[in-house]
Amino acid sequence: MTTPVIQDEPVRHQLFVFRREIEQEFRSILSWWIDHAQDEQYGGFYGSIDHHNTIDILAPKGSVLNSRILWAFSAAWNRTQHQPYLAMATRAYEYIVMHFADEVMGGVYWTVDHAGHPFDTKKQVYAQAFTLYAFCEYYKASRQELVKDRAIELYTLIERYSYDREREGYLEAFDREWQPMKDLRLSAKDANEQKSMNTHLHVLEAYTNLYAIWPDDGLRRQITRLINNFLDHIIHPVSHHQILFFDEHWHARSTIVSFGHDIEASWLLVEAANIVSDGELIIRVKKVALQMAYAAARGLDFDGGMWYEQDSATNLWVKEKHWWPQAEALVGFFHAWQMSSDNIFLQHTLNNWEFIRENMIDTEFGEWRWGVLNEASGTDKTIMSWEDKAGLWKCPYHNGRACMELMKRIDGMVKS
């Protein structure tokens, strides 16, 4: 990676202030989860907390939320050695093992009820990947061999049941017994297709984290194949946006552009290519990643916020700015600046941070809001207060990871 040489004193000062503000927000995010999310009655973490911090104690609990909590607090402990973070990570790990893990058929359930009993027992590969990702991070924190063994077991299950040996790539979902099912969707808004960009991205992310603790040759081959799936099928060769859904033969089944996923994938792909240490692949991926970052910048509004989606076939835009694309924009554009030295990317990062400070960070109730939407005037914003502060999807993963990535990157530039 080419690191920009910072000779401009105003830029140095901007980064110093940015770094200080990011660290403050990082600590604030994790404090909110420690203070509000722990379910002392039924164990683990609440399934839903609304915008005003009102708890729905009977809400189902999601495997994605719990694994993202596990990853975030494990990574925070690995960075800071702050004891309360390790305690939260251990709480999350033990709850997943006790309640989400299917000890008979393997893998993790999609949801359990508020008391920890199996609720939706499907095996969504996206959820298996996030649990694998989190177990790897917790292994780095705990150094318990059983944790690594559980991570490898999840990898083995994904490869056994989800990997498409004929056409490559990974199939979306199965029932509890790992048999095919009709409804493969992650959520109601998704297309009911055999393969998706989203699942492939997070399988890649999980495998990259696994390789860091278990450099297995077969795993390395699968990471390389996944990267090539993105280069050959998922990333459009002209628009440089990602195609979101496919049938099992890799025929495109979507015209939606997800700007947040584009900028997220642009840096995760480089991370994956770097870990397998294939020089030619790294060069190819970096070129594509930079093209993706320029393409994703189309989703930035004049105020620095990133729009949610656009339908490339109809040119209809979803005029909403959700929390997670903003977090991924912070990392992705900063990463693009590090790769290219093009200062437009640094400006995108700083502009996006200003948008986050003014619109996402909830100074009254804590954490980040779900998002804002624009009224018909195009300038007035409405807070999406009907959405969760914590829930099946809302978590400390995107914003917590963004803070940790930026602190690490800025610190690395200062040291170099």
Which of 111-120, 124-133, 366-375 is predicted least confidently? 366-375
Please tell me the predicted confidence (pLDDT) of residue 219. Answer: 98
pLDDT of residue 375: 63
Residue 381's pLDDT is what? 86
Q: What is the average per-residue pLDDT within 21-43?
A: 98
Q: What pLDDT is recorded for position 413? A: 87
Question: Residues 173, 123: contact at Cβ < 8 Å?
Answer: yes
CATH architecture under which domain 9-415 falls: Alpha/alpha barrel (1.50)
Helix (H) / strand (E) element for 118: namely strand 118-120
User: CA-based angle 67:68:72, to the nearest 5?
Assistant: 120
Give residue 85's pLDDT band: very low, low, confident or very high (50, 70, 90).
very high
Which residue in this structure is represented by tokens 């999609």?
Answer: 110
pLDDT band at 5 (very low <50, low <70, confident <90, very high): low
- Residue the block writes with tokens 């194949």: 225
pLDDT higher than threshold 60 for residue 262: yes
Helix 279-296 / helix 259-276 crossing angle, nearest 10 deg: 170
pLDDT of residue 101: 98
pLDDT at 159: 98
What would you report as the CA-atom Rg of the chain, rounded to the nearest whole angstrom?
20
Q: Is 337 exposed, middle or buried (0-12, 13-18, 19+ CB in 10 A)?
A: buried
Q: What percent of the chain has pLDDT over 90?
A: 93
For residue 104, with 0-12 CB atoms within 10 Å meaning exposed, 13-18 middle and 19 or more buried, which class applies? exposed
User: Would you say residue 13 has pLDDT above 90?
Assistant: no
φ/ψ (deg, to 5) at 318: -90, 105
In whole angstroms, what is the distance from residue 31 CA to residue 35 CA? Answer: 6
- In the chain, the amino acid numbered 107 is G
CA atoms lying within 13 Å on the CB side of residue 411: 10
61/3: higher pLDDT = 61
Q: Summarize the confidence of residues 50-77 as an average pLDDT.
A: 98
Please report the pLDDT score of residue 189 as a whole number: 87
Please give the pLDDT value at position 416: 59
Query: Where residue 12 falls among pLDDT bands split at 50, 70, 90?
Result: confident
CA atoms within 13 A on the CB side of 4: 21
Residue 197 predicted with pLDDT over 70:
yes
Lowest mean pLDDT among 140-144, 296-300, 375-379: 375-379
Rounded average pLDDT over 236-263: 98
3-state DSSP assignment of residue 11 = helix
| Token output for 173 | 């979902």
Check pLDDT > 60 for residue 2.
no
What DSSP designation does 121 have? Answer: -
What single string gives the DSSP state of each residue in 354-411? HHIIIIIB-TTT-SB-SEEEE-TTSS-EEE-TTS-SBSSS--SHHHHHHHHHHHHHHH
Per-position b or e across 206-231, b if 16+ CB within 10 A of its CB: bbbbbbebeeeeebbebbeebbebbb
What does the alpha-carbon distance between residue 370 and residue 386 come to, in Å, rounded to a whole number? Answer: 9
Average pLDDT on 355-369 reads 97
Q: What are phi and psi of 124, to 5 degrees?
A: -75, 125
Q: Which residue type occupies 412?
A: G
Q: Cβ(32)–Cβ(403) under 8 Å?
A: no
* Mean pLDDT, range 255-276, rounded to an integer: 98
Residue 228: what residue type? N
> Residue 152 has what pLDDT?
98
Q: Kindly indicate the confidence band of residue 6, based on its pLDDT and cuts at 50, 70 and 90.
A: low
| CA–centroid distance for 277 within its chain | 23
CA distance 279 to 292: 20
pTM for this model (two decimals): 0.96
Structure tokens at 132: 């694998």
Query: How far apart are the two ends of the chain, measured CA to CA in Å?
Result: 12
Q: Which residues contact 3 (CB under 8 A, 6 or more apart)?
A: 338, 412, 413, 416
- Check whether 376 has a pLDDT greater than 70: no
Amino acid sitting at position 144: Q
Asked if residue 323 lies in contact with residue 399, where contact means CB atoms within 8 angstroms, the answer is: yes
Question: Which three-class secondary structure state does DSSP give residue 391?
Answer: coil
CA distance 399 to 113: 26
Please check whether residue 126 is in contact with residue 60, taking contact to mean a CB–CB distance below 8 angstroms.
no
Q: For residue 1, is pLDDT > 60?
A: no
- Tokens coding 300: 């930035």
Residue-wise pLDDT tens digits, 308-319: 999 999 999 999
Q: Which of 185-194, 224-233, 355-364 has the lowest mean pLDDT?
A: 185-194
Q: So what's the pLDDT on residue 305? A: 97
Task: Check the CA dihedral 189-195-200-201 and report its sign.
Answer: negative
| pLDDT tens digit sequence for 132-185 | 999 999 999 999 999 999 999 999 999 999 999 999 999 999 999 999 999 999
Q: Using 50, 70 and 90 to split pLDDT, how confident is the model at 9?
A: confident
DSSP 183: -
Q: What is the mean pLDDT of the chain?
A: 96
Instruction: Report the DSSP beta bridge partners of residue 118.
Output: 112
